[in-house]
Amino acid sequence: MLRSLLADARKGKAAAEQALCVMLRLGQDGPTVGYESITDADWVPLRAEVWMSALLRRGFPDFPFEDLVAVARPVIPSGDRRAKQVSLLTTDPKGRTVQVDFSIYAFEPVARRAMARLVRQKVLTTEETAKCYYSVVAAEEGEALAEPPQADAIQVVPRRQPLVYLKKPIAPLMANAKPVGDTSDKASYPVFMTAEALVKAERMARRGAAVQPPTESGAVLVGPLCSCPDTGEVFGVVYDALEVTDAQATHASLQYTGETWRRIQTIMAARQQAPSSRGDRLLGEAHGHNFLPPHREDITCPECKQRQTCTITSAFVSSLDLAFHHAVFARQPWQLCHIFGLDARGKGVHALFGQRDGGLLSRAFFVISEWKDGGG
């Protein structure tokens, strides 16, 4: 059955047995207030994760994203129409079936879009959106689904380009790497960062803290994607950070301008022409949340003075951060977001986030001493 569905999808037919949508309720068990279609665009981040997990990391780095065909399978308990999770299934070039599971949290952007629409239509108030719950369900006839956004008359044809990567063994890097975070989680691809790049990224991210009042500042993370010829694993190496300049910075945002991008693109174009840095790309970005974490007295730990480490921090991914990454790093499942913030005691902390389950989740990485001429 799966092979038949995949064959149909490759011929241009529907890639799923059932259309899925988000059902919005006012309260956990409250009345249904609306439905929102899950569009082709909503599937792109999830398909990118399937591309990474099922193909790039399994020894097929030359498989183009545009050739990926995946079938959506909602896992729906008997007697219920609400999915517990949604799985995407595909086959690799050797004919093996690979399944990647996603929670319903992967569809939170669809739910937020639905809530914004219902507020505009005066079905909900802004205050009521905080009480909303959503579920992923199979679309049924007769339900008033929101129409998918209409595309412009211009036909957009994505360029079909092979992935640019370096062939490098991972073992020499791993032998001398210092782990940061829980590296036992193998769901995320390995990321190595040189000690120098880490220092540069933090310095640039915290530069905004010297301004009064403090603002955000940051950098883009530069380095190659690599494919290990021994294991087939794909990994990233961040060995440089380019400061974000000419940006519009506020207390809680950092907006890149046209001049910001012109400078970055000029530098990257020059790097990609040099043999020693031909594989360089933007692997992600880093920026500073140069403010104390939002916390109230009622959630401040009573045993604060006894705790060695404060777990309340501003090193988190904001809704603006997520929107930025969805726009700038679309179809790039290797994207990284490094946040340098403060804990509730004012101590500097940082956390690296990567794409997973349709969003940006905390992940581990490795620090290495250097990366020589693309060779490690």
Instruction: With cut-offs at 50, 70 and 90, classify the pLDDT of residue 6.
Output: low
Check residues 186 and 332 and name the one with the higher pLDDT: 332
Q: Which residue has the tokens 């174009």?
A: 269
| Cα–Cα–Cα angle for 16, 20, 26, rounded to 5 degrees | 170
Q: Is the pLDDT of residue 46 over 60?
A: yes
362 pairs with which residues across the strands?
353
Query: Of 17-26, 166-175, 224-233, 318-327, where does mean pLDDT reach its minimum?
Result: 17-26
192-to-84, 91, 117, 305, 365 alpha-carbon distances in Å: 34, 29, 41, 35, 6
CB-CB contact of 227 with 165 (8 Å)? yes
Q: What is the pLDDT of residues 339-358, one digit of tens each?
A: 999 998 899 999 999 999 99
Can you give the length of the chain in residues? 376
Helix (H) or strand (E) holding 50: helix 40-50
Domain ranges of the chain: 2-146, 166-368
Burial of 244 per CB tally in 10 Å (0-12, 13-18, 19+)? buried
The pLDDT value recorded for residue 16 is 45
79 pairs with which residues across the strands?
none
CB-CB contact of 22 with 132 (8 Å)? no
d(CA 239, CA 243): 14
Instruction: With cut-offs at 50, 70 and 90, classify the pLDDT of residue 12.
Output: very low
Q: Is the pLDDT of residue 190 over 90?
A: yes
Q: Could you tell me the end-to-end alpha-carbon distance of the chain, in angstroms, rounded to an integer?
A: 45
Q: What is the pLDDT of residues 106-136, one digit of tens each?
A: 999 999 999 999 999 999 999 999 999 999 9
Residue 88 CB neighbours (<10 A)? 23
Q: Is the pLDDT of residue 360 over 50?
A: yes
Instruction: With cut-offs at 50, 70 and 90, classify the pLDDT of residue 153.
Output: low
Q: What is the pLDDT of residues 249-306, one digit of tens each?
A: 999 999 999 999 999 999 999 999 999 899 999 999 999 999 988 765 555 677 777 7
Torsion of CA 228, 352, 114, 80, to 10 degrees: 70
**SS3 call for 22:** strand
Helix (H) or strand (E) holding 124: none
Structure tokens belonging to residue 116: 């914004």
Average pLDDT over the chain, rounded to an integer: 89
The pLDDT value recorded for residue 376 is 44
177 pairs with which residues across the strands?
none
CATH number of the structural domain 166-368: 3.40.140.10
Mean pLDDT of 87-104: 96
**SS3 call for 195:** helix
Structure tokens belonging to residue 96: 């093996």
Structure tokens belonging to residue 289: 């949340």
Percent of the chain scoring above 70 in pLDDT: 87
